[in-house]
Amino acid sequence: MAETALTGEPRATRLRLPRHLSPLLLASGLVALFVLLPLLALAGIAARGSGDMWPHLIATVLPDALAQTGLLVLGVGVVTLVVAVPCAWLVATCTFPGRSVLEWALLLPLAVPGYIVAFSYLDVLHPLGPVQEALRAMLGIASPRGLRLPDVRSTGGCILVLSAVLYPYVYLSARASFVLQSAAALEVARTLGASRWRAFLRIGLPLARPAIVAGLTLVLLEVLGDIGASEFLGVRTLTVSIYSTWVNRSNLPGAAQIALVMLALVLGLILLERWARRARRFVATGSARPQAPLRLTGLQGLAAAAFCALPVMLGFLVPLLHLSISAARRMAETGFPTRILGEAATTAALAAGTVTLALGLGLVVALGQRLTRAPLASGFARVASLGYAVPGTVLAVGLLSPLAGFDNMLDAAMKQAFGISTGLLLSGSGAALVAALAIRFLAIPVGGIEAGFAKLSPHLDMAARSLGSSQPRTVRRVLLPLLRPALATAALLVFVDAMKELPATLLLRPLGFETLATHVYGEAARGTYEDGALAALVILLVGLGPVMLLARMSSSALAASADGTRGSASARD
């Protein structure tokens, strides 16, 4: 019953939703549904295919695609571990010439998409390219047939190319683990007679295993989602099969069925990563004092510097130098290509739209966790972050059905209400592409804003509310200003990732919609590498921004952690 005031008149009651059904929590649930919708629709599209299609795919397409995908994933995983883990250990625990530069330079290949590195090496290692021509000139061989290096268009070439740009994921996580390891356990092993190398293998490496596995999982997910490098180098992976089945054969149900197989592989990889870390927790005991660095001099120091410099050279310096020379040569011959300006503007507009949508959705999800404290909110946040693990080709196929369904419902409603046909508003438009990219990269703002909130005490919210501020006003006047660094970092990372994204852009772009990434893809498909060099160079240079930011943030965080552990150890002493 409504309460009765002293006047005897009934007092109006305010309708309040239960806490577990707050509008913010419901909005978080809608964002999670937005991410899940393409994956659910994918099964519906695949079910519309002919029943005879599965036997055909199993007999003709899937065996070769699965074999090449598996070989590529295995090869990149092994090469990445062989390169990244020793580099991380050397940088974290040793001093040698050039270490201070290589510590952040080893992250630079993250600025270069795999398809651009493949694009560069196709020209650099071509039989008539600069490397083979220089070798023939040194050896006095006139004919190109007299000396032929192994063809980069192969599974081995693709493994090396993708490893050269993806190893930083493992390097970054492994370096952080090695830096933060306590010296106590390793010193105990040394006192028991173990050499430094044996102590690393038996103590240091197992302690770093969870971080290494997490980084390796990201690498393998990127390999599964790659389309540019794989297609350029002649490796027919599942992603390439989805693209060719949809675009070249106009068989959308068949592409959806292949995408389901690929999605199963992605989920299996994630479950495998969780299983590998099951019930394994490593806790540092005793002193938190970090390890004293091992000084490498002479040939040992030079060998360590050369080993760490090689992946930087192959994954960043060679593509940068080649693209710069090719772009300068092309502009000297034909002038500045004005089409680049239009493509750059289109790319920037696409990336800006993606940033706006992704930040808005990510803020809703993160605020749902912060303000409701409901267990469901954390579940919605995890679901909203799934898109980063789903390849762009899979998202593109899954989005077609929901977008077409929305367009048809809107068209029917407008016809019934106003006699106007709206046609296809979202399908085949830039809005569809923005939606796909926002889903793909939503994990970045969700994680970034969550990390920003973790640094803000809940007492800030309580203090503002105790002073009479409403919840929306508290968010607007207190929380959002304090979140500006986290929001700016997330916006920068999403912008660059959206600018580089190729698979979803290729499949969902409207007619005549050309970005820098699709320009590079088109020139590589035609074999006119110099014509695409400038667009590739622009992508590379823009990608340097977030990589340098990541290197700075990583170094600052590790330095702060190391200082904290030294301080706590000194206090105990």
Which stretches within 419-457 are classed as H helix? 430-440, 443-454
What is the sign of the dihedral through the CA atoms of 277, 280, 281 and 283? negative
276 pLDDT higher than 70: no
What is the spatial distance between Cα 152 and Cα 158, in angstroms, rounded to a whole number?
7
pLDDT of residue 10: 46
3 state SS of 328: helix
- The CA angle 165-94-563, to the nearest 5 degrees, is 95
pLDDT tens column, 4-13: 444 444 444 4
| ∠ Cα 122 504 25 (to 5°) | 140
Tokens representing 338 are: 């004005």
Three-state secondary structure call for residue 105? helix
Q: Which one-letter DSSP state was computed for residue 133? A: H
Helix runs in 373-457, H state only: 375-384, 392-418, 430-440, 443-454
Q: Which amino acid is at 427?
A: S
Q: How far is CA 136 from CA 122, 123, 209, 318, in A?
A: 18, 16, 45, 20
Give the mean pLDDT of 259-272.
84
User: For residues 120 and 318, is the Cβ–Cβ distance under 8 A?
Assistant: yes
Q: Is the pLDDT of residue 396 over 60?
A: yes
Which H or E run includes 474? Answer: helix 471-474
CA–CA separation, 205 and 185 (whole Å): 12
pLDDT-derived band at 527, boundaries 50, 70, 90: confident
Whose tokens are 């010296």? That residue is 183
Task: Give the position of tokens 């571990």.
Answer: 81
Q: What pLDDT sits at residue 289?
A: 56
What is the arithmetic mean of pLDDT over 91-97?
89
pLDDT digits (tens, 9 = 90+) for 334-347: 888 888 889 889 99
Residue 15 has pLDDT above 60, yes or no: no
Predicted confidence band of residue 448 (pLDDT cuts 50, 70, 90): confident
Angle between helices 484-500 and 529-572 (to 10 degrees): 150
> Is the pLDDT reported for residue 497 higher than 70?
yes
Average pLDDT, the chain: 81
The torsion of the CA quartet 514, 520, 522, 523, rounded to 10 degrees, works out to: 130
478 pLDDT above the threshold of 90: no
Structure tokens at 357: 């949508």
Average pLDDT over residues 231-247: 87
pLDDT per residue as tens digits for the range 278-330: 655 554 444 455 666 778 888 999 999 999 999 999 999 999 999 999 889 88
137-164 confidence digits (pLDDT tens): 888 787 777 777 788 889 999 999 999 9
Quote the CA–CA distance of 70 and 65 in Å, as a whole number: 8
User: What is the SS3 assignment for 91?
Assistant: helix
Q: How far is CA 549 from CA 67, 110, 553, in A?
A: 38, 12, 6
Tokens standing for residue 377: 């909110």
- Beta pairing partners, 294: 94
Helices (H) and strands (E) in the chain, counts: 27, 2
- Does residue 18 have a pLDDT over 60? no
Q: Is 294 helix (H, G, I), strand (E, B) or coil?
A: strand
Q: How many CA atoms lie within 13 A of 316 on its CB side?
A: 21
Q: What confidence tier does 562 reach under pLDDT thresholds 50, 70, 90?
A: low
Q: How confident is the model at residue 130 (pLDDT cuts 50, 70, 90)?
A: confident
Residue 554 near residue 489, CB atoms below 8 Å:
no
Residue 436 reports pLDDT greater than 60 = yes
Question: According to the model, what pLDDT value does residue 309 have?
Answer: 95
Q: What are phi and psi of 61, to 5 degrees?
A: -100, -50
226 and 177 in contact (C-beta within 8 Å)? no
Averaged pLDDT, 534-563? 76
Side-chain-side CA neighbours of residue 105 (13 Å): 19
- For residue 1, what are the CA distances in angstroms to 4, 13, 398? 9, 9, 50
Q: Which residues is 10 bridged to in the sheet?
A: 4
Name the phi and psi angles at 295, rounded to 5: -85, 120
Count CB neighbours of 224 within 10 A. Answer: 23
- Residue 290 is given by DSSP the state B
